[in-house]
Amino acid sequence: MVETVKKVLRKSPVLKTPAFGCLQGIPAINITRGCLHRCAYCYARCFPETPSHGVFLYQNLPEKLAKEISSRKKRGLLPDVVTFSTASDLFQPHPEILKITHCSLRLLLEEGINISFLTKGRITNEFWELFALYPDLVEARFGLISLSLTYHSLFEPRTANPYLRLRQIEKASLIGLKPSVRIDPVIPQISDRPEKIFKLFRSLKNVGVKEVSVSYLVLRPGVMKQLRQELPRDIFFSILRAYQGVPWCQVITSATTKLVQKERREEGYKLFRQIGKELGIRVRVCGCKNPDLPYESCFPWGFSSRKRLSQGRLFK
């Protein structure tokens, strides 16, 4: 099916602050509603406001952002950090989306505002040129769960392939960014086997990664439905076994989520840590998505302004 990009006007403020997890208080921007990548496990696809096909592109976003920056500047309320991609990837494969993304990033960077993003997409040259001008302001995070091309074709077929992502991580290091990697969602039975983790970590080490954050797939009814529809039956049921006997519970803002069995997660994270230790990569487990384990922050903000953030002063 051809995915459409429908241009719409954004009415609500752009610099909105989500009130959940470690993003609390940090303005988050989504360039589109919906995401062309359509990963099989994506929870944002289940939001009632997400279009079932294609995406809505906020074509007036740079204009609105420029006005908000100017108004906040006058009031001394510019944010230190703005994050992207909480419910859509900012590097989706469409020229109009990339144009709006580029304008928005440029506006923020030119004001000296730190930007953070998490992507599984393909970053084109004009973005690398922009980031090279502001390496200290860019927190680049790459989602990379497995190097298996079978995994890629089943779970994230429209994203950049894992080897391109590895090259992008390397490129980010070369231009002076400090890229980090998010291994989320780990798919039980599929991407948590020792040999798979080792292969991934060895490649990450080779491209200079020093730290990763990890979390297992959190199921929601809508995610289960997607997986059931989009995965081969045997794979779907083998994943489901890891959730057997676990009640639905509240995780972050959702009241109906299911975590992988606790012992299984503990074992899995232990394995990630062991392999990480062996290869000199620090592993953090996402505390927000593992509320029943000792809390660990995978706080992604590594900017010089971190001190201010940790003091709770999120705005200049």
Q: Which stretches of the chain bind ligand SF4, using CB under 6 A?
A: 35, 37-39, 42, 44, 87-89, 120, 159
In angstroms, what is the minimal distance from the CB of 311 to ligand SF4? Answer: 31
- Whichever of 172 and 217 has its CB closer to ligand SF4, that residue is 217
* Nearest distance, CB of residue 3 and ligand SF4, angstroms: 11
Smallest gap from Cβ 93 to ligand SF4, in A, equals: 11
Q: Which is nearer to ligand SF4, 117 or 134 (CB)?
A: 117
Q: What is the DSSP string of the chain?
A: -PPPEEEE---S-SS----SGGGTTS-EE-SEES-TT--TT-GGGGSTTS-SSSEEEETTHHHHHHHHHHHHHHTT--BSEEEE-SSS-SS-S-HHHHHHHHHHHHHHHHTT-EEEEEE-SPPPHHHHHHHHH-GGGEEEEEE-----HHHHHHH-TTSPPHHHHHHHHHHHHHTT---EEEEEEEPTTTT--HHHHHHHHHHHHHTT--EEEEEEPPB-HHHHHHHHHHS-HHHHHHHHGGGTTPPPEEETTEEEEBPPPHHHHHHHHHHHHHHHHHHT-EEEE-STT-TTS---------STTHHHHHTT--B-
